[in-house]
Chain A
Amino acid sequence: ETGVTQTPRHLVMGMTNKKSLKCEQHLGHNAMYWYKQSAKKPLELMFVYSLEERVENNSVPSRFSPECPNSSHLFLHLHTLQPEDSALYLCASSPTGGFVGLYNEQFFGPGTRLTVL
């Protein structure tokens, strides 16, 4: 596997379910990101991890819980979601975070299309 992979690619869940999205990067990067794209809205940053430490929680509801166990893996744990949380969730990575990371391009995965019933 190369680049950034995400599983599952599609997920349908009920409002009472608990599920997790997984992201894995094979690029040796130190920063990872979760983005959300709702219908007809721009890509929106949710979380940033740099060297496995969360450096940004962009006012995201607590029903979304990220986890970064190591620099290659990023999870997004989902519980008691609402139908309005249905969206495309994209993971990305970049070589570094912090100030130097400003100048790094981000590498995106293919996304998970989430539908909440």
Chain B
Amino acid sequence: ILNVEQSPQSLHVQEGDSTNFTCSFPSSNFYALHWYRWETAKSPEALFVMTLNGDEKKKGRISATLNTKEGYSYLYIKGSQPEDSATYLCAPCMEYGNKLVFGAGTILRVKS
């Protein structure tokens, strides 16, 4: 069974704070790492797909890094806003065929 760990489980921050989450996965047989944002009552929405060791991706105030050798990825949010409140999911792809294995997610709540 593939073990994907996300930490912390939940996070409450003030508007304007910067924050980061961790996704840990087995480093062998790695193909790609997906990050998704899932707002309440909406569909999960892709943030990044990362494949190369040392890869860094950025979308607005959100960025992510990937370390495939040690099996982790960090997601950073700079200057959190209330609209960033969501569950952030990571999902490594460890098998051929785009079969994602999701972590339990990090729940972010940003207070204004």
Chain A residues in contact with chain B, CB under 8 A?
3-4, 31, 41-45, 48, 50, 55-56, 58, 90, 92, 94, 97-99, 101-111
Contacts and interface: CB of A to CB of B under 8 A. Distances in A.
A102 B49 CA distance: 9
A42 B103 contact: yes
Contacts, number: 68
Interface of B: 4, 31-32, 34, 36, 42-46, 49, 51, 89, 91, 93, 96-105
A34 to B, nearest CB: 12
Interface of B is mostly: loop
Of the listed residues A3, A58, A103, A104, the one surrounded by the most CB atoms of chain B closer than 10 A to its CB is: A103
Contacts of A4: 43
Closest 9 CB pairs of A and B: A105-B46, A101-B98, A43-B102, A108-B43, A42-B102, A108-B44, A102-B31, A42-B104, A102-B32
B99 A45 contact: yes
B46 A106 contact: yes
